[in-house]
Structure formats: structure tokens, C-alpha cells
Amino acid sequence: MMNILHLDSAITGEASVSRKLTADIVAKLTSQNPTATVTYRDLAKGVPAIDGIWLEATRGMGDDNSAAHAAAVATSDAYLSEVKNADVLVIGMPIYNFAMGALLKSWIDQIARAGVSFRYTEAGAEGLLTGKRAIIAYSAGGTPLGSEIDHASAYMRFILGFFGITDVEFVAADGLIFDRDGALARADAQVAELAA
């Protein structure tokens, strides 16, 4: 049975193109895998930024066993559990100011934990979240996917690979301010061609 983790991060609500794309991608996957389960998380509702308390709590530093430490670990563990249980991650990545939004970056920071999502060996870093597929719904007004002004997609491919998720593909609706209908049509065609 396929387990899908569906993440949205756009702050634009129902007007969001990336939200439309993630919903379409999940619909395509579930139509071809009727027994699939879907776990949904809307990162726009808030993702705590990592801080000193998070660092102490997740690395077992200091002697503080406070409620703040416990809450920091519980939040991070919840995000990690969702990723670990997923076979496919469908991630909405709208571009703001040529990069991913802060909420999506905070989610990445929450799951970037040595010994949990990656580890260092004598041979170098090793990702621990292997055997997963990621489909990124990329939406941008004027930042073409893979262009020199796109500071999000290469990082996303790298960091997921660092975690061991190397099967990464993008569905892109870019150039929306120039040709919205065309961008949406191209993205829809990419969704239609996705292998389930």
C-alpha cells in the first residue's frame, strides 16, 4: 500500500497554484493506487523555526528537561514520523523572492537531525530516509525552474538527497505573470504524465 505525505506551504490560500498542483498530483497518485493513504499537513498554519532550545533538546545537550525541550522534540519527531512513514512526498513549493518560503525551510530544518534523517560516516554523509519518492509542485510568477535566479529547486533536490531521497521530480507552473494559462496547461500536462 502506498503512503503519501501531502505538504502545502503557500500562504495565498485558495488562490495558490502550488496547492492546486499538489492536490492534482495526489489525485493522480490515488486514482492509480486506490488503497493509498494520505497524510496532509498545511505548513502555512505554522512551523516553528529551530532555535537554541530545539538544538539542546534534539542533541541532548544540557540537563534541562523542561516542557519547552519536550515540546521542541515532539514537534520535530512528528514531522519526521510523517516522512518516515511515507513512500511518496508531494511538496508544494511556491517561490517567494527567488527562493522557497520560510515555512517550508523551517520544516526542512525541523527534519534535518543527525542520527535520524542523516548520519556522518568515515565515507561522508549518509541519508537515512531512503526508498522514497518526492514530487515537488513548483510555482513561480517570474522565476523559471532551473534558471540562474531559481534559488530553490537545486537546494530542494540537494537537501532531499542529503536525507537519502534521491528520486525527486518537479511539476512546474512557472512564468505565471507572463502567461498564466500556458503555465498552468504545461503543469497539468506534467501531472498527467506522472508515473504512479
Distances (CA, A) of 30 to 95, 116, 187, 195: 26, 29, 18, 12
Query: Residue holding cell 485558495?
Result: 14
Question: 140 labelled as ligand-binding?
Answer: yes
Smallest CA-to-CA distance from 108 within 72, 155, 146, 55 is with 155
Beta bridge partners of 94: 139
Question: 16 labelled as ligand-binding?
Answer: yes
Question: 115 labelled as ligand-binding?
Answer: no
Q: Give the list of residues 6+ apart from residue 126 with CB closer than 8 angstroms, or none.
A: 118, 119, 120, 164
Question: 13 labelled as ligand-binding?
Answer: no
Amino acid at 163: F
Buried b / exposed e across 90-110, counting CB within 10 Å, b at 16+? Answer: bbbbbbbeebbbebbbbbbbb
Beta bridge partners of 169: 135
Secondary structure percentages of the chain, helix, strand, coil, to 5? 40, 25, 35
Question: 106 labelled as ligand-binding?
Answer: no
List the binding residues for FMN: 16-18, 139-142
List the binding residues: 16-18, 139-142
